[in-house]
Amino acid sequence: WNADNVLFTMTLQAANATPTEGNNLVFLIDVSGSMMSSDKLPLLKKAFSHLTDQLTEKDTISIVTYSGKEAVVLDGCSGSKKETILSAINSLKASGSTNGQAGLQKAYQIAEKHRIEGGNNRIIMASDGDLNVGIRDPRQLQAFVEEKRESGIYLSVLGFGSGNFRDDNMETLADHGNGVYYYIDGEVEAEKIFGSELCSTLTTVANDVKLQLTFDPAYVEQYRLIGYENRRLNDEDFEDDSKDAGEVGAGHTLTVCYEITMTDNKVYPEAGYATLAVRWKNPGESESVLREYGIGDESVKDTLNDDALFAAAIIETAMLLHNSRYKGNAS
């Protein structure tokens, strides 16, 4: 990593999904004037066509659109009626202002109306995040979706386009609506999310996932978590089940990296120079599960494998973009 420190890379993978009773999906689609460009609504239509191909008769599909006002385009259609769903999606046209609040309220009403007990009840919101009518402030959006998530309906968000794209709004909605957030920049990414990775896109296997890593000071002198600035919790929040944290989809992987300064003690113990504690809630449950793992000498490598090299390159790129004081001689 550099002459003085080492890179600590840790990847966790969630379990694959177990079959549900079906998907109750509400597509909440931004059809305001800002969605006209080719990398927005036209790409959005292609993205949803990949999802429609995967639906079955166990699924229930609704479509709510919003611009200056909200409209229900499809209300509780069977997933087996693919032509009806595609026709409704392809009929959408962009115009007007953007009242995301009204669209969200209607989407939650429709999702509740068609709730599938034991199934996956989820709103999939697609937008460029440019909300210019109703709630616009990220803090107000946070409060709105935090209240709604108590119903057990997940809110996932798809971001499209550039220029006036509002990443802060989109991430706020997904983070506090107990969903996931994807940015779709082309057909390849659309197919990946709604084709090969559909199960992880739609199925949440763990709620309020928290990680706590403890280094043994006999072996680690200093450490720095790289990134995740907006995901950090206070130490006391780790055991507090009322504190909201991130959701993880089926089969999802999560990679965390630290820059660490080792002590002069070069003999790492088998018992572990670090301990990872993972806490999460199973969907539908209010109490968390705790697992702990020791990280010992088997993890210490003299050279980086391709995955770690790639992670290092991504980190260096981000540090250069932020002009980080930790960038060193990265170029």
Query: 120-127 and 60-66: which strand pairing?
Result: unpaired
Query: Which residues have C-beta within 8 Å of that of residue 238, sequence separation ≥ 6?
Result: 210, 212, 277, 279
pLDDT band per the 50, 70, 90 thresholds, residue 182: confident
Supply the pLDDT for residue 78.
Answer: 94
Query: 154-160 and 120-127: which strand pairing?
Result: parallel
Share of the chain above pLDDT 70, in %: 91
> Which comes out higher in pLDDT, residue 116 or 283?
116
Supply the pLDDT for residue 85.
Answer: 94
Average pLDDT over residues 133-149: 70
pLDDT band per the 50, 70, 90 thresholds, residue 304: confident
Q: Which long-range contacts (CB under 8 A, 24 or more apart) does 150-154 make?
A: 151/108, 151/112, 152/121, 152/284, 153/108, 153/111, 153/112, 153/115, 153/121, 153/122, 153/123, 154/120, 154/121, 154/122, 154/123, 154/178, 154/179, 154/204, 154/247
Supply the pLDDT for residue 98.
Answer: 65
Q: Is the pLDDT of residue 168 over 80?
A: no
Whether the Cβ atoms of residue 135 and residue 100 lie closer than 8 Å to each other: yes
Query: 246-249 and 204-215: which strand pairing?
Result: antiparallel
Supply the pLDDT for residue 189.
Answer: 86
Identify the top-confidence range among 123-132, 138-147, 190-199, 219-228.
Answer: 219-228
Reported as half-sphere exposure (CB side, CA atoms, 13 A), residue 73 has a value of 24
Structure tokens at 276: 């990872």
Q: What is the largest CA-CA distance in the chain?
A: 67
Share of the chain above pLDDT 90, in %: 35
Lowest mean pLDDT among 32-41, 59-68, 174-183, 202-211: 174-183
Supply the pLDDT for residue 275.
Answer: 94
Strand partners, 126: 29, 158
Reported as half-sphere exposure (CB side, CA atoms, 13 A), residue 268 has a value of 15
Q: Is the pLDDT of residue 39 over 90?
A: no
Q: Is the pTM of this model over 0.85?
A: no
Strand partners, 294: 275
pLDDT band per the 50, 70, 90 thresholds, residue 48: confident
